[in-house]
Amino acid sequence: MALRLGDIAPDFEQDSSEGRIRFHAWLGDSWGVLFSHPADYTPVCTTELGLTARLKDEFARRGVKAIALSVDTVDSHRGWIADINETQSTEVNFPILADADRKVSQLYDMIHPNANETLTVRSLFIIDPNKKVRLIITYPASTGRNFNEVLRVIDSLQLTDSHSVATPGNWQDGDDVVIVPSLKDEAVLREKFPKGYQAVRPYLRLTPQPNK
């Protein structure tokens, strides 16, 4: 059955470039980004892994752990990591799961027969500290991921988990946000949003980002 938003991310134990990983224990109380690759030594994925490594401080600032997956072996991963470090001018600083038996790929529904019967599709999952899946994005092999968007979504999820707001289209950290329609009591609104709000429509109320 396909994994859906709000589901508990399946736990697993699997080898990686940094040793054996027990996924839920490894995540602990952190947010997580799990993203898959069809095989080692693939060009688009090489650039993505380099970018992820360079974003280490941005992920850490948000309390996020990154972990990748490829269906090749740990030894193959180590050779690929050396290439990534050299060609992308960085140091890979997160584990890459060695999913040779496709165990994790199957758990996370990463194999789509209409795309390829054996290779994992390039899916990305954002998982919260309660181990719930909060975002799933699947990319074609030819299109590199936009990690600025991944960070933007994490910012939105963390903000909206803490305040009674949603983030509008093209929102960036620091922009105005939308008050959720279910919040109607004026006394509560004044308390929660002391900077006030603009009611464009009764259901569309904009307010400055509460945590700024």
The β-bridge relationship of strands 122-127 and 133-139 is antiparallel
Is 45 tagged catalytic? Answer: yes
Q: How far apart are CA 179 and CA 198, in angstroms?
A: 10
Strand boundaries in 83-212, DSSP class E: 96-98, 122-127, 133-139, 165-166, 177-179, 198-201, 204-207
Instruction: State both tokens at 194.
Output: 């002391």
Q: Please check whether residue 122 is in contact with residue 145, taking contact to mean a CB–CB distance below 8 angstroms.
A: yes
Identify residue 110 by its one-letter amino acid code. M
Q: Among 9, 21, 27, 45, which one carries the catalytic annotation?
A: 45
Give CA separation, 83 vs 29, 39, 47, 89, 113, in Å: 32, 14, 11, 10, 30
Taking alpha carbons only, the member of 154, 153, 155, 162 closest to residue 180 is: 162
- Which positions are catalytic? 45
